[in-house]
Structure 1
Amino acid sequence: MDHMWTLIIFTLLTRFHNLAVPEYVCWDEVHYGKMAGRYLNRTYFTDAHPPLGKMIIAAAGRLTGYDGRFSFENHGDAYNTSSWKVHYFGMRASSATLGSLTISLLHYTVKRLTGSQLAAFLSSALMIFDCGLLTLSQYILLDPILLFFMSAAIYFKAESSNKLSSFKLYSKSKRVAFPVISWCRDMLRCGFCLGCTVSVKWNGLFTAIFICFWTLWDIWSCRKATIFARICLLLGSAVFFVILPFLVYVSTFAVHYEVLNHSGTGDGFHSSLFQSCLKGNPLHNTSMPSHVAYDSLISVKFHQPSRSGLLHSHDRLYPVDIMPFPYQQATLNFHKDANNFWEVVYPSEVEMRYFAEESYHNKSGAEVQLLKSGNFLKLRHVKTGCYLHSHVRKAAFTPYDQIVSCHKNSLHEAKMNEIWRLDIASVTDDAVTLDCLNTQFRLVHANTGCSLRSTFQVLPDWGSNQYEVTCTNNQQISMRAMWNVEQHTHKKLNEESIVPCQMSFWDRFMESHATMAALHLHSAPADISQTSSAWQWPIYSKGQMLTEDEHGVRVYLLSNPIVFYINIWSLATVFILSASRHLKFKPNNPKLYAYKNYFSHIFECIDPLHFQYCQLFVLAWALNYLPFLVMPRVVYFHYYYPAMLCNCCLSGCFYNMIFEGASVRLSQSCNYKFSCLFFERFFITVYVFCLFVPFYLYFSLAYGVPSSSYNY
């Protein structure tokens, strides 16, 4: 009996029912809907995830009428009002479609591996009746796209694995025709889907690692194949599962840079050279003097992979408890304004005698003296006339660093703390000049030897919520305290056209990944109550609120508890059975030896091939779940769903294995002929009933039914 069409129809009905509700921005739609609009408007943004998932959402929106003008600014923003109508249904429908296809793909995967229609039905029923998986499939999210490509990769790998299971190519005894073309086709599809999986979220790497382990196990199982044949299989698998996914992954970024070629809100995360590649950015196709000299007006940028900003000052003073003297604040500002400009000033002859035996002052008589590595300088804030200053006093929030400020003090001791030494990175020749955009340098305090940097500690209201700037004596931190000149003017230097986008594709690719990695590490939740710990996921300890009920609708990411209990039972049992096969029981311990006999009887009743696939899905679950236990970032309950799908496949294989063994035993033990068909139908009826009851009780939380209709 083929249950597939029944499953497909029921899956589509559950995923598309009430898809337009709630009619406002819900949960992470505020991020991914906004990013889809950026793709349609071609304005650059920065995100912690690779671009493919957002591009698919944008394509779905474009095909269904979304024009990218709706901002997705806040949670709860209405899609349809008297002023505008947003075509958001198509983007949600793409998630629902991919969510439905995910279940179909895994159904066929289990069927292909075990050869059992019942095992496939048991697995897919767990996925269909899980309220959490239903919820994820109804919103504009990356998770349905990730789960679809993950399922497709596993399905095509199962296809190729079946072809390899009877592999006898170049056998020592005889040669058997091997379907090379169809095997390569399945491997090609699997590799492409793996690349797409990683291109949606980096979590897809766990699936890629699982596929590689599976492939190595397949090749090792070809015991009749020659060494040459195994090497050929290994090299072919490396091409399909390493090189091809990498090319797919890189290609998504090439499309990403080509589409997002206009300046946007994500510019500030990147270096000045990266920003010069974006149309509309002040650094794109601009003109300025290429070399910096004394008397130049400059803005200087401190760039780190996750954040950056411009050296800034304003007429606000430090609080008295932090700085008892009336000194201006020196901060790092994300935005570009007039307070970011500084004039490069000569230290006086008297000041220079304090630091050097011989003054490097302009003895040549040239009108302009270019800055070189090792030169001393002072930075005067253009708008307030104060000089950048540091002295031995702890910073506001970083006590092991010195405070940095601005002031106009005329005392000689104070003026000594205004002088900085220019230290250009990676140069051995002091004749190298300071160039705009390209040259990275350190500003070393001449009096104390500390290096100017930003801690990216956000200052409170008295600091306008800008970043803290300090001066560090830590040598390791000093080596990374790099600045560059972003904007530059000089009265006596001719302006030159700056070549746009001086970065190669690979330079932009590497900088983007450094930024993405830093965003992952420094991610902070908007609401800490929505986070969870990875140990809570398998035991179903905590769900996740998606919308509150102040808008009349409540949506809660709540999975079916019976699904989780079925999954955790199958997982624990397979673990115990697997361990029992590898434990050695000593005959002199009767109790333990009795356990060995007990497990031996169990293994006599089960299909070893089915148990092998159970172990395979345990590996898939472990690789998709265990890394989150040690991951140094905030995690959420919905991160568990790739592992949960693998657990559902494991449960289908496991309970089918138990059912087949039990039906054979019952048939042998009964005096009359036992009806396996009746037993199967009874088993399916009870199984579906146990899944449907909690699904019926909790489905309203997934669909976003008005909260006034229910007693929550």
Structure 2
Amino acid sequence: MSTTAPQGNLRQRNVAGSKKNKDGASSDVELDKLVKAASGKAPKAAAERDHQFAFTLITILAFVTRFWGISHPNEVVFDEVHFGKFASYYLEKTYFFDVHPPFGKLLFAFVGWLVGFDGHFHFENIGDSYIANKVPYVAFRSLPALLGALTVSVTYLIMWESGYSVPACVLAAGLILLDNAHIGQTRLILLDATLVFAMACSLLCYIKFHKLRHEPFSRKWWKWLILTGFALSCDISTKYVGLFAFITIGSAVCIDLWDLLDIKRPGGALSLPQFGKHFAARAFGLIILPFLFYLFWFQVHFSILTRSGPGDDFMTPEFQETLSDNIMLSNAITIDYYDTISIKHKETKAYLHSHVERYPLRYDDGRVSSQGQQVTGYPFNDTNNYWQILPAGEDDKQLGRHIKNHDLIRLRHTVTDTILLSHDVASPYFPTNQEFTTVSIADAYGNRAADTLFEVRIEHGKPSQEWKTISGHFKLIHNPSKVAMWTHTKPLPEWAFKQQEINGNKQIAPSSNVWLVEDISSLPADHARRAKVEKKVKTLPFLRKWFELQRSMFWHNNQLTASHPYASLPYSWPFLLRGVSFWTQNDTRQQIYFLGNPIGWWIASSVLAIFAGIILADQFSLRRGMDALDHRSRSRLYNSTGFFFLAWATHYFPFYVMGRQLFLHHYLPAHLASCLVTGALAEFVFTQDAVEHELAHQAAKAGKKSQTPKHHLTARERFVGQSLFGAWIATGVILTLVAAGWYFFLPLTYGYPGLSVEQVLRRKWLGYDLHFAK
């Protein structure tokens, strides 16, 4: 990021020019010298040595906190039921469906393959024993623990590469090191460790790339640009919220390109062709390459999952034909006219159903119905679910003929001997949707003939394609009005026995209009049409499979709107108002409760507010002719700390517009960014304080008109000492408090030891839903 701000003295700017000190040097020059001294810490080798020692110590502690007691508990915990199961499916080559991209799950499968796990255990239930089922669960958990430990190291490197002092680096990394939420999420078979690590790596790589801005198109420049793109790809290939990292880096790149476009830029103006090269390079490294990496993981996903499995139901029949051992396709039967069938809604699994009861005269909102026979969705197999397929005409010439795509049919309800109909009457719940009912056969072939005609429109079907059971997913389109038969999960009132509403949806395109024929009830079990014929596994182009899976993933992701006892809203995350219960054991009173370190989170959240206040105060001062910051301090505050603040904002605020279930772990990437802001702002505060003190000392010294004795400290040494000493004191105090918070909530993070009622109650600081509190 780059923000231009006017320069001036520490005090109010003078219109006539800067005031000079005794030696004729301006205050700005003195300030620049002082800040350079702080950033240099002579000799440079000593500074590097201090950083290396602190980095090594932080990394060792990160591995200790993540791997300590990782074998406990030795049973399935929380969402390990999902991601452990997916690893098993990969190892068995069994097709499954998940709303998250494959990269993180592929890493777990790779670990399982390395340790010789065959995927026999499917992680079905929380509490299932790993020991009894001979599962190498410690190896699986070691992957997120490794990435979680390295995330602490990368956090330190981000600060180091950004030019911050050792105390600032230690503070930012220490907040991650001692955070219970980061520890808890990286000790289990979960995806967030991969997500946060990739996000942190993207920030580090971009910073290293940006530092090479004066060496464009060099080998190192290209290396860090491509590595930034790869990290971004790993981020979004783990979870779709990884898109937020693209927004972070993309925003910084746009600002960078805007500066390059400036004809008055300090490094010299770029010609438009040169600017085009810069734009193209960034587009290639940060958009095209990440997308290709993203596609690559899906190619690996499809290449491994070649067998039919629990994910088949989420895909089209054409996709399922690419999987071996597909039971649904092997049982598919071509449907003929006059067959009696049962029709099932693909998403809600409800059967098309009717019974003798009729719609009420008036609904609760006062609207009038047709009082026709009810047509509903019923969740259980029943004779009232049987419908006979009749041709559009009255003759029997269609007997024995296969039904094909786009054929017009009628459906006769066999129990009540009535014909399915839709007409221009509002449905019970949707005034804009058409009611479905039935009419007598005489009316169906008389004055209501047109309203009983329906088109069979096979999903992705070809002209004249035959309609089949199970595999022939279709939409039933009412011919005159062109509405699609549709249902939803909201139950009707008692007058319909709380069954599902069936109505005509004017929006034909949505996949929620899709149905399938489960069986032909009129066909005997030994009929020749039921004979199973061995089918050859087909192939589909990769991009067609990818697009289909993307559509299904996005749709089901958007459907995750149901309430959850541990779901939380974004406004509660920075203040850590509540957590998530992961695991409990009644006998030992042990529990794992996903919760951050309250002290660390509250400090980081407070610093975010302080940073925003400093920026607002600085802008207000500049408008009033006051320049309270030197050039270097303002540049770092706006550019470096501002970049970290941007990362926090882009990883936090988008959740406010999401309609899906949200949990505390969604805040972890934003929390990491807030820790970077905390470390950066701590250095800013103490550096500025030291600047003020040193300027005051210089002024007093000039006023005395005397020489400083040789044994006194130089200005450089005194300034560095003041700034680092204050920063170390602040870092020590903050991390001591944070370490106390980490230790206090340690039993809830590591799952042991068990706590007494009194000990549990002492930890219920806010709305924490802790177990064994009584």
Where on the TM-score scale, by shorter chain, does this alignment land: which range?
0.7 to 0.9
1:96-135 residue pairs with structure 2 within 5 A? 96-135=145-184
Shift of 1:372: 6.7
Shift of 1:651: 1.3
Shift of 1:650: 1.4
Q: 1:320 to 1:32 in 2, by over 3 A?
A: same
Q: Say which SS state the counterpart of residue 470 (structure 1) adopts.
A: strand
Q: Judge conservation of contact 1:25–1:77 (CA < 8 Å) in 2.
A: yes
User: Hey, what's the Cα distance between the residues in 2 that align with 1:482 and 1:532?
Assistant: 32
Q: Which residue of 2 aligns with 1:211?
A: 249
User: Hey, what's the Cα distance between the residues in 1 that align with 2:309 and 2:358?
Assistant: 35
Query: How many pairs are equivalent?
Result: 660
Letter in 2 for 1:613: S
Q: Judge conservation of contact 1:332–1:469 (CA < 8 Å) in 2.
A: no
TM-score, scaled relative to structure 2: 0.74
User: Hey, what's the Cα distance between the residues in 2 that align with 1:494 and 1:71?
Assistant: 33
User: Hey, what's the Cα distance between the residues in 2 that align with 1:7 and 1:130?
Assistant: 13
User: Hey, what's the Cα distance between the residues in 2 that align with 1:37 and 1:664?
Assistant: 59
Letter in 1 for 2:564: I
1:387-536 residue pairs with structure 2 within 5 A? 389-390=420-421, 412-413=442-443, 420-423=452-455, 435-436=467-468, 441-444=475-478, 451-457=484-490, 468=500, 470-472=502-504, 474-477=505-508, 483=514, 500-501=537-538, 503-524=540-561, 528-536=564-572
Letter in 2 for 1:269: F
Aligned equivalent of 1:614, options 641, 652, 662: 641
Q: Which residue of 2 aligns with 1:577?
A: 614
Q: 1:44 to 1:493 in 2, by over 3 A?
A: closer
Q: Does 1:226 align with 2:275?
A: no
| 1:405-443 deviation per Cα after TM superposition (whole angstroms, max 9, x unaligned) | 78xx9763478779842436599xx99565556785534
Q: Judge conservation of contact 1:318–1:327 (CA < 8 Å) in 2.
A: yes
Q: CA RMSD in A?
A: 4.2
User: Hey, what's the Cα distance between the residues in 2 that align with 1:204 and 1:236?
Assistant: 22
Q: 1:530 to 1:564 in 2, by over 3 A?
A: same
Q: Judge conservation of contact 2:66–2:145 (CA < 8 Å) in 1.
A: yes
1:206-605 residue pairs with structure 2 within 5 A? 206-222=244-260, 223=265, 224=268, 226-227=270-271, 228-284=273-329, 289=334, 293-295=336-338, 307=347, 309=349, 311-312=351-352, 331=377, 343-346=388-391, 349=394, 361=395, 368=401, 371=404, 373=406, 375-379=408-412, 389-390=420-421, 412-413=442-443, 420-423=452-455, 435-436=467-468, 441-444=475-478, 451-457=484-490, 468=500, 470-472=502-504, 474-477=505-508, 483=514, 500-501=537-538, 503-524=540-561, 528-548=564-584, 550=586, 552-583=589-620, 593=624, 597=626, 600-603=627-630
User: Hey, what's the Cα distance between the residues in 2 that align with 1:247 and 1:571?
Assistant: 36
Q: Does 1:646 align with 2:678?
A: no
Q: 1:12 to 1:584 in 2, by over 3 A?
A: closer
| 1:11-51 deviation per Cα after TM superposition (whole angstroms, max 9, x unaligned) | 11111112122222222112211222221222222211111
Q: Say which SS state the counterpart of residue 85 (structure 1) adopts.
A: coil
Q: Does 1:45 align with 2:96?
A: yes
Q: Which residue of 2 aligns with 1:86?
A: 135
| 1:161-185 deviation per Cα after TM superposition (whole angstroms, max 9, x unaligned) | 1111x34xxxxxxxxxx56111111
Letter in 2 for 1:62: W
Aligned equivalent of 2:688, options 661, 666, 680: 661
User: Hey, what's the Cα distance between the residues in 2 that align with 1:459 and 1:31?
Assistant: 33
Q: Say which SS state the counterpart of residue 39 (structure 1) adopts.
A: helix
User: Hey, what's the Cα distance between the residues in 2 that align with 1:369 and 1:25?
Assistant: 50
Q: Which moved more, 1:207-216 or 1:613-622?
A: 207-216
Q: Which moved more, 1:106-115 or 1:661-670?
A: 661-670
Aligned equivalent of 2:194, options 145, 157, 162: 145
Shift of 1:645: 0.6
Q: Does 1:702 align with 2:749?
A: yes
Q: 1:264 to 1:460 in 2, by over 3 A?
A: farther
Shift of 1:153: 1.5
Letter in 1 for 2:68: H
Shift of 1:660: 2.3
User: Hey, what's the Cα distance between the residues in 2 that align with 1:129 and 1:367?
Assistant: 73
Q: Judge conservation of contact 1:362–1:369 (CA < 8 Å) in 2.
A: no
Q: Which residue of 1 aligns with 2:36?
A: none
Q: Which has the higher contact order (CA 8 A, sep 6+)?
A: 2
Letter in 2 for 1:55: L
Q: 1:326 to 1:537 in 2, by over 3 A?
A: same
Q: 1:79 to 1:184 in 2, by over 3 A?
A: same
Q: Judge conservation of contact 2:374–2:437 (CA < 8 Å) in 1.
A: yes
1:22-37 residue pairs with structure 2 within 5 A? 22-37=73-88
Q: 1:250 to 1:332 in 2, by over 3 A?
A: farther
Q: Say which SS state the counterpart of residue 581 (structure 2) adopts.
A: strand
Q: Which moved more, 1:255-264 or 1:430-439?
A: 430-439
Q: Say which SS state the counterpart of residue 135 (structure 2) adopts.
A: coil
Letter in 2 for 1:258: S
User: Hey, what's the Cα distance between the residues in 2 that align with 1:566 and 1:688?
Assistant: 11
TM-score, scaled relative to structure 1: 0.80
Q: Say which SS state the counterpart of residue 554 (structure 1) adopts.
A: strand
Shift of 1:560: 1.8
Shift of 1:486: 6.3
Q: Which residue of 2 aligns with 1:181?
A: 219
User: Hey, what's the Cα distance between the residues in 2 that align with 1:457 and 1:264?
Assistant: 29
User: Hey, what's the Cα distance between the residues in 2 that align with 1:665 and 1:362?
Assistant: 100
Letter in 2 for 1:226: L
- Gapped regions of structure 2 (runs ≥ 5): 1-49, 364-368, 702-711, 761-774
Q: Which residue of 1 aligns with 2:663?
A: 636
Letter in 2 for 1:444: H
Q: Which moved more, 1:59-68 or 1:653-662?
A: 59-68
Shift of 1:611: 4.2
Q: 1:99 to 1:340 in 2, by over 3 A?
A: farther
User: Hey, what's the Cα distance between the residues in 2 that align with 1:481 and 1:607?
Assistant: 54
User: Hey, what's the Cα distance between the residues in 2 that align with 1:60 and 1:338?
Assistant: 50
Q: Say which SS state the counterpart of residue 452 (structure 1) adopts.
A: strand
User: Hey, what's the Cα distance between the residues in 1 that align with 2:88 and 2:725?
Assistant: 55
Shift of 1:133: 1.1
User: Hey, what's the Cα distance between the residues in 2 that align with 1:493 and 1:426?
Assistant: 21
Q: 1:422 to 1:402 in 2, by over 3 A?
A: closer
Shift of 1:453: 2.3
1:5-16 residue pairs with structure 2 within 5 A? 5-16=56-67
Letter in 1 for 2:270: T
Shift of 1:312: 5.0
User: Hey, what's the Cα distance between the residues in 1 that align with 2:93 and 2:150?
Assistant: 30
| 1:503-557 deviation per Cα after TM superposition (whole angstroms, max 9, x unaligned) | 43222222212221222221145x6331111111123333333234536321222
Q: 1:607 to 1:702 in 2, by over 3 A?
A: same
Give the percent of matched residue pairs that are identical in Structure 1 and Structure 2.
24
| 1:182-237 deviation per Cα after TM superposition (whole angstroms, max 9, x unaligned) | 11111111111111110000111110121122223334445325233332121011
Q: Say which SS state the counterpart of residue 707 (structure 1) adopts.
A: coil
Q: Which moved more, 1:474-483 or 1:197-206?
A: 474-483
Q: Say which SS state the counterpart of residue 608 (structure 2) adopts.
A: helix
Letter in 2 for 1:142: L
- Gapped regions of structure 1 (runs ≥ 5): 168-177, 350-360, 587-592
Q: Which residue of 2 aligns with 1:171?
A: none
Aligned equivalent of 1:57, options 98, 108, 116: 108
Q: Does 1:627 align with 2:673?
A: no
Shift of 1:238: 0.5
Letter in 1 for 2:500: E
User: Hey, what's the Cα distance between the residues in 1 that align with 2:291 and 2:591?
Assistant: 41
| 1:361-392 deviation per Cα after TM superposition (whole angstroms, max 9, x unaligned) | 467x99747557463433566xx796663467
User: Hey, what's the Cα distance between the residues in 1 that align with 2:84 and 2:493?
Assistant: 31
